[in-house]
Amino acid sequence: MFGALLNYSQKNQTITLQYEKQNVQLQVLTDKIVNVFVPLTSTVHRSKAVEGDKELPTSFSLSKEADHLVLSTESLICKIYDDFKIDFYSKYGNEETLLCADYRGQRIPRFELQESFIEFIKQEGHNLDTAGNQNYPVQCVKKLDKGDCIYGLGDKTGVLNKRYYEYENWNSDIPDPHEDSFKSLYKSVPFFITLKEKGVYGIFYDNTFKSYFNFGKENDNYYSFGSDDGNLDYYFICGENMPEIVSGYTYLTGRMPMPQKWTLGYHQSRWGYDSEETFRSLAAKFQECRIPCDALHFDIDYMSHYKVFTWDTERFSDPHKLISDLKEQGIKAVTIIDPGVKVEKDYYMYEEGVENDYFAKSPDGSIYVNAVWPGDAVYPDFGNPDVRKWWGEHLNFYTDLGVSGIWNDMNEPASFNGPLPDDIIFTDEDKASTHAEIHNVYGHNMAKATYEGWKNLTGKRPFVITRACYSGSQKYTTVWTGDNQSLWTHLRMAITQQCNLGLSGIPFMGTDIGGFGADTTPELMARWVEVGCFSPLFRNHCAKGSMNQEPWLFGEEVLDIYRKYVELRYSLLPYFYDLCRESEQTGMPIIRPLVLHYENDENVRNLNDEFLVGEHLLVAPVVEQGVRKRMVYLPEGVWYDYTSHTKYQGNQFYIIDAPLDVCPIFVKAGTILPKAPAQMYVGEIENPELILEVYPGAGSYTHYNDNGEDFAYRDGAYNEYLFKTDGNRHLEITKVHEGYRDYPDIVINYV
Ligand code: MIG
């Protein structure tokens, strides 16, 4: 590829290899992470995902063999051959295991279509893509072994294990029902984990241009990743197990900061809630139906003519009063903000942006205009730090009204007048850039602007939701999976999508409960809340023009089921909060595929319809119409049914009853589950007691608590408790850290 190796040199932890046609750098970041950098378009990394210097002092050795260099850390060996082929080995238990080898053979696509046939079949409207012959200017091809499974890659559709599928990273707003065959959705997270029969590794391919991933669809013997432009810049991450890979990746790209507690409550939303009366009656109805609720979302209908940073005061006579009245009932307001700024004389966001040169431009230097909801609109250039600051400061429009969180939409960026051309000029921090390079990080930069602005204005932990994002966005925002539909296939997909997002470093996510587009049914509503109550972002949302989806619209039975699962969620809030803490510290997701903790169990490598919440709860929901019993696989150990407390031996399949009001949930033996008393919203009880549900078996559990609002915990204002049970109805409580008020009581319930 680059000719022969002429020379190599080492400076601290960076090794520079001089090939005939190209210099290459390898950097040892930790004993488990090595970066491979081929500076094709810029001499330095221009990462949006990795912030700050991630190199830790690491001892390693470097030696030259006949035809390769050997780089060896405590955990891995990297052999760099003189033809720039690289092989990575792990070194666990004094055993060298080849994990990841560059592919050396010919590329042989498994099938190719003739051009003439493609033309012919297109006449009927078929949309054929030619697999194979996929060569990109930036590219890497690696060996696949029998049994390799591939996970991650963010919010892609389809099954959990991505082997045999191909994907693209190009943030896309596609209104059609999301199909398994879609190659892109709203987010670009170029990170994946390869689980082998023996061993596991991760690759983070840090390139923001349109990128391609072919995980063995082209050929069973290799997989490839590549892009249209940019550098070949990837990180090899090894570890003893999958959690260590996730932790390595989030070490690099950052972890989710603690959210405010209320954000873990229930949220109600709909595109079309368009007046003050609507919001007031919603709040009243939640009270009347005794369904806890922490937030109502204001979609684009609150704005005047879809102008961001404005409020329609005809339909909302006094937004400030409305929002504070809602807050008195415990309900927080979350407002949507799209990036597109309406082109309109005397509209302050437009005028200020024009004056300060804050919008993206055409190559001829004029401001680039496309269209979104407000009609003709321009795109704030969020890659420019001044634009982020400007946008962030203007958020005081919302904080002054008492708004509690911001929902960023349309930030792929979406456009109604055809896609933005690749050569539209944006800024990448300190240099001019193009839409081709910035597209996939547009949402990321917008979320960053929102997070930083909100934090400055309020001093509280910002609550941001975004539709589009990139690797590392978890530092600034939560996500939702965009416009799903009221389809059973989309309820099924909610599981795999959320599991893969979690493995990709993004722990706080949710799907639109009930489905966004199309019309839901009572049964689908019931089954969706049974899954959705475990999503960190627990939000019912749907589209204007589709059937309303408030919980009380489907009859008594569904309302009771709905209430049961919202109440379940509120009772588990201390557990969810602990999982957030774990996520901030280690990068572990909240919703987890079983394979994350049981990677050696063949039965879970392709398990698409069960998931874990933390390590202790296993959820096996019904995601099929009409089904009232389902097969459940329980991995090794002993498990207890959450409701009946029936005991099950793991490593077995069971047929479990699941009438419409039952979502099968299992608790691992030895679990000490922290729970809260019932509340209509977070904080209704000023300082609720803690309830510990102690399951048979020995175990220990770390519990965390703080004020749930600001950053005081970073200065030590939190409590941490260690609970230990020997399995004989005995519990030991140790306070490991004290910096916050105590519980009025800790109630212990033995199962
Ligand atoms: O093109 O703001 O995904 O949640 O309700 C539709 C209206 C624009 C798309 C979002 C959806 C939101 C809707 N938006």
Give the separation between CA 102 and CA 224, rounded to whole angstroms: 10
Beta bridge partners of 203: 192, 236
Query: Which atom of ligand 1 has the smallest separation from the CA of 482?
Result: 3
Query: Which atom of ligand 1 has the smallest separation from the CA of 175?
Result: 1
Chain segment 494-504, per-residue pLDDT in tens: 999 999 999 99
Q: Is the CB of 153 under 6 A from ligand 1?
A: no
Give the separation between CA 249 and CA 394, rounded to whole angstroms: 33
Ordered strands of the 68-72 beta sheet: 61-64, 68-72, 76-81, 86-90, 97-101
Q: For a pocket test of ligand 1, which of 297, 334, 483 has the largest count of ligand atoms closer than 8 A to its C-beta? A: 483
Confidence label for 118 from pLDDT (cuts 50, 70 and 90): confident
- With 90 as the cut, is the pLDDT of residue 115 above it? no
Chain segment 44-103, per-residue pLDDT in tens: 999 999 999 999 999 999 999 999 999 999 999 999 999 999 999 999 877 899 999 999
pLDDT at residue 682 in the model: 98
Q: Is the CB of 338 under 6 A from ligand 1?
A: no
Confidence label for 130 from pLDDT (cuts 50, 70 and 90): low
> Which residue, by CA, sits nearest to atom 11 of ligand 1?
483
Q: Is the CB of 173 under 6 A from ligand 1?
A: no
Q: Is the CB of 589 under 6 A from ligand 1?
A: no
Distance 271 CA to ligand 1 centre (A): 7
Question: For tokens 């989030």, what's the residue?
Answer: 250
Chain segment 27-36, per-residue pLDDT in tens: 999 999 999 9
- With 90 as the cut, is the pLDDT of residue 1 above it? no
Distance 409 CA to ligand 1 centre (A): 7
Q: Is the CB of 412 under 6 A from ligand 1?
A: no
Average pLDDT over residues 613-622: 98
pLDDT at residue 105 in the model: 94
Average pLDDT over residues 440-454: 98
- With 80 as the cut, is the pLDDT of residue 424 above it? yes
Query: Which atom of ligand 1 has the smallest separation from the CA of 467?
Result: 3
Q: Is the CB of 480 under 6 A from ligand 1?
A: no
Contact present, 578 and 702 (Cβ < 8 Å): yes
Give the separation between CA 376 and CA 356, rounded to whole angstroms: 19
Distance 279 CA to ligand 1 centre (A): 18
Q: Is the pTM here over 0.95, yes or no? A: yes
> Which residue, by CA, sits nearest to atom 13 of ligand 1?
271
pLDDT at residue 128 in the model: 66
Q: Is the CB of 542 under 6 A from ligand 1?
A: no
Average pLDDT over residues 608-628: 98
| Residue 153 φ/ψ region, left for φ over 0, alpha for ψ in the -120 to 50 degree band, beta for the rest | left
- With 60 as the cut, is the pLDDT of residue 133 above it? no
Distance 99 CA to ligand 1 centre (A): 43
Question: For tokens 């901030």, what's the residue?
Answer: 584
Query: Which atom of ligand 1 has the smallest separation from the CA of 543?
Result: 5
Q: Is the CB of 482 under 6 A from ligand 1?
A: yes
Mean pLDDT of the chain: 97
Q: Where are the beta strands (DSSP E) in 429-569?
A: 431-434, 464-466, 469-470, 478-480, 509-510, 538-540
Query: Which atom of ligand 1 has the smallest separation from the CA of 483?
Result: 3
Q: Is the CB of 409 under 6 A from ligand 1?
A: yes
Q: How many degrees, rounded to 5, is the angle at CA 503 between CA 502 and CA 504? A: 85
Distance 491 CA to ligand 1 centre (A): 19
Residue 482: how many CB atoms within 10 A of its CB? 22
Residues with a catalytic annotation lie at 409, 412, 483
Give the separation between CA 214 and CA 228, rounded to whole angstroms: 14
Q: For a pocket test of ligand 1, which of 171, 271, 273 has the largest count of ligand atoms closer than 8 A to its C-beta? A: 271
**What are the C-alpha distances in Å from 221 to residues 129, 235, 272, 574?**
21, 22, 50, 46
> Which residue, by CA, sits nearest to atom 5 of ligand 1?
271
- With 60 as the cut, is the pLDDT of residue 243 above it? yes
Confidence label for 426 from pLDDT (cuts 50, 70 and 90): very high
- Which backbone phi and psi does 353 adopt, to 5 degrees? -65, -40
Helices (H), 533-634: 555-571, 573-586
Q: Is the CB of 302 under 6 A from ligand 1?
A: no
Q: Is 113 exposed, middle or buried (0-12, 13-18, 19+ CB in 10 A)?
A: middle
Q: Is the CB of 483 under 6 A from ligand 1?
A: yes
